[in-house]
């Protein structure tokens, strides 16, 4: 059975308090009113998620945060009389009624008005009056009002509503030149015929239909808007003006556009999916430029360390490990075993062949945590060579992990018993001893020491990861990204004080988590956040995304790869804004235009496709709220994209290395 009381309290704490709603009366009212009573049947379990939900007549019940924000903006209190325009489900009026003396609410749809009236009666909210009519005209016989809240977006603040405010009264209303692109305004009546305005940022509401709003056709009525307000550019128009079009990937001008980030210590390059060719090709072009022209020597990717180490040996002209399996054989193989990655790896090898100076060779490294079995094998192989006695002890210590090496997630089930503590301690001891012998080992095999020590760290982190993933919450994600960031730090330290790194990872890892649902709602951290906190302006966070096309993805974990059609981006998403700009591929340097940066602070949906893609549930499974200009420093856009081409036997003899490093 759903614990809706708990969900309601969590909504207040997570979606409201953490996002800046602090008014005690507002928070208490939101805790009191049962939102599940106002949603359509079947949507009760979603009542306390921070998103709008559909109701009858093509209308919506606003997300809880917007309801709370507008009420807090109105500065209402006990004894006040408030007008609401756009009753809808009745939820906002119900919340208002728990704070003020009297609520008057107008709804143009008679069915919605009657349903809301019945809900108020059932809940015993007897200080609300409901009327069916044109809300843009207000409720003259109940005026003046201490506050008026409008739950629909108009072309301007209707004069009738402004005139029905008491002096000192506040009108909160979305306004904009387009029916679905608005700014949230607070209009305060300062005198008999004087008003002041405050802008609280972008929002999206259904159109305000009426004599002083929009007609049913959606076109603005002439002369219904206060004079003196000049037309402002829409957000897609602002994006189009700031967008720097991208040439072909092989054109040197492509990489040159990113010279502005060449002086950074770390450049993080994202992707909106793990199976889109344009993202890999763009990152390759940018990285080639950073390596050739700006001295970057570290390419650190969202991949397992042992698998990436095999690639690193290839690109730095070192022989493969004896009896080693080909890398990237586990699900999802297409993520790194694809033609775009193979082409970039081949370029790195040829680049390093020209350089030859070891300190300037570009290396390919994995940041991720998953491959415990590969990491254990690498540590043992190293110890067999440099310290056979240590290898024997390590085998005993790692023995407690052996039953779960090939299906490490099952370790979490066993970890709930007391036995895991002994294993955890043994892993830490092994890692500490390996690090303590750094000087001794480095004299014997200095080149491989970083590889061995990182594998030891990985095993310790992975042991904890597969244990805590069964406790739920944000711990497993946070441990994983903490491990990945610490690995990046170790790489920079190992390559010297002037080392610079490029990171390839999903947008969910490289965009600052503090400005997405990850950090706001789920208390999750990520590499992008850590890099900003550690390196400040020496870190550049660059997201990549798309509107539609195809993607390589699976329907379930460990199932077959499919080429899937990416649905066109959601109307309320940042992706749709980029699509509506009309520029097919571009770089958006967010910090170059402060007005645009301010507009992109607004929290909107953003799409995240990993190795799993389920178009049928896309809105709930692949979208999350974010503030783009706080999440990223720049954004790379491709309106139409195609899936990666996975490597297989058919690629042998076509220029891709036929046996090493991919083992085709």
Task: Annotate 92-139 with three-state secondary structure.
Answer: HHHHHHCCCCEEEEEECCHHHHHHHHHHHHHHCCCCEEEEECCHHHCC
Render the burial of 78-96: b for 16+ CB within 10 Å, e for the rest. eebbbbbbbbbbbbbbbbb
- Single pTM value for the model: 0.71
Q: What is the mean pLDDT of residues 19-47?
A: 90
Neighbours of 182 (CB within 10 A): 23
Neighbours of 199 (CB within 10 A): 11
Going from the C-alpha of 337 to that of each of 270, 308, 408, 647, the distances in angstroms are: 18, 11, 22, 6
What angle (nearest 5°) sits at the alpha carbon of residue 575, between those of residues 219 and 154?
A: 25
Residue 317 φ/ψ region, left for φ over 0, alpha for ψ in the -120 to 50 degree band, beta for the rest: left
Beta bridge partners of 184: 174
Q: Is the pLDDT of residue 630 over 90?
A: yes
Q: Is the pLDDT of residue 138 over 70?
A: yes
Q: What is the DSSP letter of 82?
A: E
Q: What is the mean pLDDT of residues 89-114?
A: 96
DSSP codes, 261-298:
GTT-SEEEE--S-SSBHHHHHHHHHHHHHHHHHH---E
Q: Is the pLDDT of residue 289 over 70?
A: yes
pLDDT attached to residue 422: 57
Place 442 in a pLDDT band, splitting at 50, 70 and 90. Answer: very low
pLDDT attached to residue 228: 43
Q: Which of 388, 377, 398, 362 is nearest to 455 (CA)?
A: 377
Selection from 53-62, 222-231, 445-454 with the highest mean pLDDT: 53-62
pLDDT attached to residue 397: 62
Q: Is the pLDDT of residue 224 over 70?
A: no
Share of the chain above pLDDT 90, in %: 55
Q: What is the mean pLDDT of residues 517-521?
A: 84
pLDDT tens-digit readout, 339-352: 999 999 999 999 99
d(CA 455, CA 436): 15
Biggest CA pair distance of the chain: 92
pLDDT attached to residue 341: 97
Q: Is the pLDDT of residue 382 over 80?
A: no
Q: Is the pLDDT of residue 415 over 90?
A: no
- Residue pair 500/297 in contact (Cβ under 8 Å)? The answer is yes
- At residue 372, φ and ψ (nearest 5 deg) are -65, -45
Domains belonging to the chain, first-starting first, are 55-219 (3.40.50.150), 233-296+500-643 (3.40.1660.10)
State the helix-helix crossing angle for 438-468 and 305-315, rounded to 10 degrees: 140
- At residue 362, φ and ψ (nearest 5 deg) are -85, 130
For the chain, the 3-state helix, strand and coil shares in percent, each to the nearest 5, are 45, 20, 35
Q: Is the pLDDT of residue 522 over 90?
A: no
Reported as type and span, the H/E element at residue 439 is helix 438-468
135 vs 57: which has the higher pLDDT: 135
The H-assigned helical ranges of 536-637 are 574-580, 594-599, 618-622, 628-631
pLDDT tens-digit readout, 298-320: 999 999 888 898 899 999 998 88
3-state DSSP assignment of residue 199? strand
| DSSP-derived pairing of the beta strands 539-553 and 634-641 | parallel
Question: Looking at 94-108, 228-242, 464-478, 547-561, which range is the least confident one?
Answer: 464-478
Q: Is the pLDDT of residue 222 over 70?
A: no
408 vs 235: which has the higher pLDDT: 235
Question: Looking at 47-51, 508-512, 630-634, which range is the least confident one?
Answer: 47-51
Average pLDDT, the chain: 85
pLDDT attached to residue 370: 66
pLDDT attached to residue 426: 62
535 vs 521: which has the higher pLDDT: 535
Q: What is the mean pLDDT of residues 613-632?
A: 90
d(CA 578, CA 635): 10
Neighbours of 261 (CB within 10 A): 22
- Residue pair 184/174 in contact (Cβ under 8 Å)? The answer is yes
Place 225 in a pLDDT band, splitting at 50, 70 and 90. Answer: very low
Active site residues: 62
Q: Is the pLDDT of residue 451 over 80?
A: no
Q: Which of 400, 393, 396, 397 is nearest to 415 (CA)?
A: 400
Q: What is the mean pLDDT of residues 508-537?
A: 92
């Amino acid at each position: 059975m759903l614990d809706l009381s708990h969900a309601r309290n969590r909504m207040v704490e997570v979606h409201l308090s953490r996002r800046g709603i602090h008014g005690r009366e507002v928070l208490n009212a939101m805790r009191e009113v049962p939102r599940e009573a106002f949603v359509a049947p079947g949507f009760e379990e979603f009542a306390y998620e921070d998103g709008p939900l559909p109701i009858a007549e093509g209308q919506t019940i606003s997300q809880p945060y917007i309801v709370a924000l507008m009420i807090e903006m109105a500065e209402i209190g006990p004894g006040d009389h408030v007008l609401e325009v756009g009753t809808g489900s009745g939820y906002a009026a119900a919340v208002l009624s728990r704070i003020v003396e009297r609520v008057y609410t107008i709804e143009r749809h008679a069915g919605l008005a009657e349903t809301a009236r019945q809900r108020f009666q059932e809940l015993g909210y007897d200080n609300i009056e409901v009327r069916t009519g044109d809300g843009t005209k207000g409720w003259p016989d109940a005026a003046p009002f201490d506050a008026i809240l409008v739950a629909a977006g108009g072309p301007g603040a209707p004069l009738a509503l402004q005139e029905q405010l008491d002096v000192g009264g506040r009108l909160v209303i979305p306004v904009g030149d387009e029916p679905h692109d608005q700014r949230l305004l607070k209009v305060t009546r300062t005198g008999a015929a004087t008003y002041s305005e405050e802008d609280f940022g972008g929002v999206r509401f259904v159109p305000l239909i009426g004599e002083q709003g929009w007609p049913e056709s959606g076109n603005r009525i002439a002369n219904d808007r206060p004079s003196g307000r000049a037309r402002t550019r829409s957000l897609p128009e602002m994006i189009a003006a700031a967008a720097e079009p991208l040439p072909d990937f092989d054109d040197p001008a492509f990489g040159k556009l990113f010279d502005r980030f060449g002086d950074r210590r770390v450049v993080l390059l994202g992707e909106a999916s793990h199976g889109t060719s344009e993202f890999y090709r763009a990152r390759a072009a940018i990285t080639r430029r950073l390596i050739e022209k700006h001295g970057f020597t570290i390419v650190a990717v969202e991949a397992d360390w042992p698998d990436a180490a095999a690639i690193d040996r290839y690109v730095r002209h070192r022989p493969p490990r004896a009896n080693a399996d080909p890398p990237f054989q586990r699900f999802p193989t297409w993520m790194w075993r694809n033609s775009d990655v193979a082409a970039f790896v081949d370029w790195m090898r040829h680049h390093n062949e020209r350089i030859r100076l070891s300190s300037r060779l570009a290396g390919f490294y994995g940041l991720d945590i998953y491959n415990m079995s590969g990491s254990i094998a690498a540590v043992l192989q190293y110890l067999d060579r440099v310290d056979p006695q240590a290898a024997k002890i390590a085998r005993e210590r790692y023995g407690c992990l052996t039953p779960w090496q090939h299906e490490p997630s099952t370790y979490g089930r066993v970890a709930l018993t007391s036995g895991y503590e002994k294993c955890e301690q043994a892993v830490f001891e092994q890692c500490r001893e390996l690090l303590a012998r750094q000087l001794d080992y480095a004299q014997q095999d200095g080149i491989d020491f970083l590889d061995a020590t990182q594998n030891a760290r990985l095993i310790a982190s992975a042991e904890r990861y597969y244990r805590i993933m069964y406790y739920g919450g944000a711990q497993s994600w946070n441990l994983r990204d903490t491990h990945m960031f610490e690995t990046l730090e170790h790489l920079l330290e190992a390559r010297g004080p002037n080392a610079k790194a490029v990171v390839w990872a999903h947008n969910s890892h490289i965009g600052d988590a503090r400005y997405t649902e990850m950090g706001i709602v789920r208390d999750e951290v990520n590499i992008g956040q850590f890099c900003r906190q550690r390196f400040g302006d020496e870190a550049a966070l660059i997201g990549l995304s798309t509107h539609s096309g195809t993607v390589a993805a699976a329907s379930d974990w460990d199932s077959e790869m499919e080429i899937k059609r990416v649905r066109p981006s959601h109307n309320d998403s940042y992706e749709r804004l980029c699509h509506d700009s009309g520029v097919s591929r571009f770089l958006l340097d967010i910090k170059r235009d402060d007005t645009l940066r301010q507009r992109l602070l607004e929290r909107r949906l953003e799409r995240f496709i990993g190795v799993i893609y389920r178009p049928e549930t896309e809105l709930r499974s692949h979208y999350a709220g974010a503030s783009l200009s706080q999440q990223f420093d720049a954004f790379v856009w491709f309106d139409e994209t195609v899936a990666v081409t996975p490597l297989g036997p058919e690629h042998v003899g076509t220029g891709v290395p036929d046996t090493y490093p991919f083992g085709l």
